[in-house]
Structure 1
Amino acid sequence: MTKVTAWSSRDFRRIWGATTASALGNEVGELALPVLALVWLGASAEELSWVRVATFLPYLALTLWIGVLVDRHPRRPLLIGAEAVSACVLLTMAGLALVGSLTIPMLIAAAAVLGSMAVLHMLADFSFVPLVVSREQLADANARITATQSAIGIGGSGVGGALVQWLSAPFAVVLNGIGRFVAVALICRVRTPEPTPEPSTDSTLRQASEGLAALARHRVVRSLAAEATAWNLGNEVLMLALTVAVVQGHPSGPLALGVILMAGGIGAFLGASLSAQLTATFGYGRSLIAAMALGNTAPLLGVLLASDTSTRSLVVLGVALLASGVGVGVANSQAVTVRQLTVPEPLRGRVNAAYRMLSWGALAIGALLAGSLVTTWSWWPAAIVGATLMAASTLPVALSPVRGMRDLADPS
């Protein structure tokens, strides 16, 4: 019998295309914004950390409330609005930079708006994809999206670094904005009807708290949330430290940083390609925990062996991120599928909001911590602290019921 894949859905292909266009622009922006702050505006490490805080603070402050919004309203218009607002902010910011009017406070404000729109897009997309494909196609849909994002990470970081190095950061930000408008055009063409959300007499606070309570009751999703929170906290410290060190300490800083990040994308693509086979052979639990142990520990080994920004050290860091990417790639699409399949549709947006509030809200705290550590200790000790937190993040999952799961039908 021929297997029906998610690719047979025309609307999924449009969602996939929108996600790809947005991700391509975002890969360039991930490098362009820090370089815009450090090089174009002459920001300090502490000022860069505030830009990062503004980007991720909405995950901590707004995620639960946006989760309620997503469960109360159709997701397609929310996705369109999030991408359109992001595109306008990016193009405005690039224009101000080119005429010499952009300031650090303006960049911080723009980062806060972009972060808020990212929260809205993430939660709406998470709840929308299961409506576009069947339950049997969902794992394939998530695997395709994860593999594509990993592939974009392979070339996107390197190309982004080259564009920032050769064209300047503002022009790279323009490309990010254009990618968002392409995503808007594709989402507008999606025709899948959405069920009308049932009206609720409960208060927004009560509905938001239901998401947290449901997450806390689910042992598997709870352990995944704990791992993601600790990992993101450590990763933000590590990445900010590396960004400051490489951009300011290497003659081809943006390009060198892009190549290092590209190594992580290669690893993630390889991991996503191996994920299904490893699960079939060893079971979900064992393959997930082994992948996390590899992915979460490799950065610490890399930082310990690389104490400067010499070519040798950058190669070591690249190899470490390559190995880390393999581990992360194995687990990511499976973890998303578990969260989508085990949470009832009416609660899906709020539970995912609670998950994202914890895991991505940690990035705002990590950015503050990173700015303080880099300013006080320099980049290398700060990077060790971040990588150590990443290595420890495997423990909640390793000590949870996940280790006994044979396949994705087992979560409880």
Structure 2
Amino acid sequence: MQLKHHKDFVRFWIASTTSDFGTFITTLALQVLVVVNLHGSATDVGWISASRWLPYVLLGLVAGVIIDRTHRKSVLVMTDLGRGILLIVICITAVFGVINIGWIIVIMVIFGCMSLFNDAVYQSFVPQIVPRRLLTQANARLQQSAAVAETSGPAIAGGLIGWIGAPFATLVDGVSYLLSGIVMASIKYHPIERASADPIGVQIKEGLRWVYRHQYLRTLALNTHVWFLFHSMSITVIVTFAITELGFTASILGFVFSAAGIGAVLGTSLSTRAGQRWGIGGVMTFSRVLYIPAIILIVLAPPAIQDNLQTNALIMVVIGQFLYGFAMGLEGPLEMGYRQSVTPSRLQGRMNATMRSINRSMIVIGAPLGGGIADGYGYRMALWISIVGLAICGVWFGLSKMRNAQLEDDDIKENY
């Protein structure tokens, strides 16, 4: 049976795609709101980015236990609706001129709490509505939609920001979350067997043991944690770097970030076949190495001359963004499909929450760190440091056991 015959997955895919389009609009709109409307610095952008992920540091492991004990669809619906309302609040307060950096941080902390639970359920929900043999295809389909949204979202955001301003661009995302919640509510989901009623501490330890004693997940988790640290430094710095040093406008930024989306679409389209031919570990190793030249192209882009951007800078940043998006699209479905396939259902919530919470904890460190280095020592220095970190991750991954991982490795499912 093909994916299209699984009606619950089709509804899930529609809801996910709807919110994805809004998310990639807000990703750019919120940063422009801080830099342009509120005259914020790279450090301000870093702190706002970190505030969104702070709940992952404080509540991530507990969230995994809660998710394994609750009705997952209800969590998806309520968190979608809640996030939609919060983004609408940002729009309204910005329009009336009462928004500031502090209030955005507070709102994004609350937004992050809802995202924490939504993300943990999202990744744990797919294996319950899709057969194991279709997991990689299902994740590829979801990430293809996200990639298409990433392609068009920034371009739409750039146009919207230039036309009606950054605050109203966030309104679009708010509405998309509300629509996603409504569609998600229509899924006819039958709850799986829930985790035992052991104390929370015992269940957290069980989730940690599963991830960090598994011969493959351990390497994947640790390497990805470090990757997120340097990835968050890059992403934090690039927007402010492009605006202030390369002379990019909001519209050009939208075009540039669309290149990453195009690369991601191509990457996700090739992901399943590449994994079957060269193995999950081999393809992921290639992807982790590909991030290095992608950022090098961006950091070598020549600065604007008398506030006018240079064509060479635009070309180099576009190619760099394309390669970065291609690498993420290529490895994303394989990584997620592998994690889901080797983890028992009763541990899905804790496995996903453990890995995701620590990954996001790295953003809490990396985003303000990148912004601080950029403000103190220059944007290019911050990007070079992230390049070195990404290179370490690529070499480490290539020399580890994970490079030999295969989706059909059923025998390692209990190896922890």
Which TM class, normalised by the smaller chain length?
over 0.9
After superposition, give the CA deviation of every residue in 1:128-187 in whole Å (9 maximum; x if it has no partner): 111112222222211110111111111112212221222211110100100000101101
Residue 409 of structure 1: how far off its partner (Å): 0.5
> CA separation in 2, counterparts of 1:167 and 1:222?
47
**Post-superposition shift, 1:198?**
4.4
TM-score by length of 2: 0.93
Is contact 1:18-1:183 (8 Å) kept? Answer: yes
Residue 305 of structure 1 aligns with an amino acid whose one-letter code is L
**Structure 2 residue identity aligned to 1:356:** R
What is the correspondence of 1:94-109 to structure 2 with a 5 Å cutoff? 94-109=91-106
Amino acid at match of 2:297: G
**SS at 1:308 equivalent:** coil
- The alpha-carbon deviation at position 199 of structure 1 amounts to 4.1
Q: Deviations over 1:86-118 (max 9, x none)?
A: 011110111010011112111110111111111
SS at match of 1:101: coil
Q: How far is 1:190 from its partner? A: 0.4
C-alpha separation in 2, matches of 1:271 and 1:20: 17
Letter in 1 for 2:208: L
Query: Could you tell me which residue of structure 2 aligns to residue 167 of structure 1?
Result: 164
Q: Deviations over 1:245-292 (max 9, x none)?
A: 223345552222222221111111111111222223323332332232
What is aligned with 2:227? 231
In the superposition, relative to structure 1, how do residues 280 and 50 fare at CA in structure 2: closer, same or farther (>3 Å)?
A: closer
Structure 1: gaps spanning 5 or more residues: none
1:92-241 alignment, distance < 5 Å: 92-200=89-197, 202-241=198-237
Distance 2:234 2:391 in 1: 12
2:303 is aligned with 1:308 = yes
| Deviation, structure 1 residue 219 | 2.0
Cα distance, 1:399 vs. partner?
Answer: 2.1
Deviates more, 1:361-370 or 1:40-49: 40-49
- Alignment match of 2:243 (pick from 243, 247, 258): 247
Give the Cα separation in 1 of the matches to 2:76 and 2:13.
13
Q: Whole-Å Cα distance in 2 between the matches of residues 351 and 280 of structure 1?
A: 24
Q: What residue in structure 2 maps to residue 339 of structure 1?
A: 339
For the 8 Å contact 2:246–2:303, the answer to whether it is kept is no
Greater Cα offset, 278-287 or 14-23: 278-287
1:278 paired to 2:237: no
- C-alpha contact (below 8 Å) 2:68/2:350 kept by paired residues: yes
Contact 2:68-2:195 at 8 Å conserved across structures: no
- Tell me the CA shift for residue 388 of structure 1: 2.3
Which residue identity does 1:241 align to in structure 2? V
Given that 2:247 and 2:303 are in contact with CA atoms closer than 8 Å, whether structure 1 keeps it comes out as no
Describe how 1:36-47 pairs up with structure 2 within 5 A: 36-47=33-44
TM-score normalised by length of structure 1: 0.94
Q: Deviations over 1:30-64 (max 9, x none)?
A: 01111111112222222222111101112222211
SS at 1:219 equivalent = coil
- The AA in structure 2 aligned to 1:314 is L
Which residue of structure 2 aligns with residue 268 of structure 1? 264
Q: Given that residues 267 and 330 in structure 2 are in contact (C-alpha distance below 8 angstroms), is that contact kept between their aligned partners in structure 1?
A: yes
Residue 220 of structure 2 aligns with an amino acid whose one-letter code is L
Contact kept in structure 1, 2:65 and 2:200, CA below 8 Å: yes
Identical pairs, percent: 27
Shift of 1:195: 2.4
- Find the counterpart in structure 2 of residue 391 from structure 1: 391
Instruction: Report SS of the residue matched to 2:189.
Output: coil
1:24-39 aligned within 5 A: 24-39=21-36
> Which residue type is aligned with residue 392 of structure 2?
A
Q: Give 1:395 deviation, angstroms.
A: 2.9
Q: Give the alignment of 1:65-76 within 5 angstroms.
A: 65-76=62-73
Aligned partner of 2:86 in structure 1 is 89
Letter in 2 for 1:269: V
The CA distance in 2 between the partners of 1:347 and 1:155, in whole Å, is 36
Structure 1 residues 174, 229: closer, same or farther in 2, change over 3 A? same
Does the Cα contact within 8 Å between 1:278 and 1:287 map onto a contact in 2?
A: yes
Q: CA deviation at 1:307?
A: 4.5
Q: 1:19-39 CA deviation, whole Å, 9 max, x = no partner?
A: 111111100110111111111
- The CA distance in 1 between the partners of 2:196 and 2:218, in whole Å, is 28
Count residues in correspondence.
406
Q: For the Cα contact (< 8 Å) 1:299–1:324, is it kept in 2? A: yes
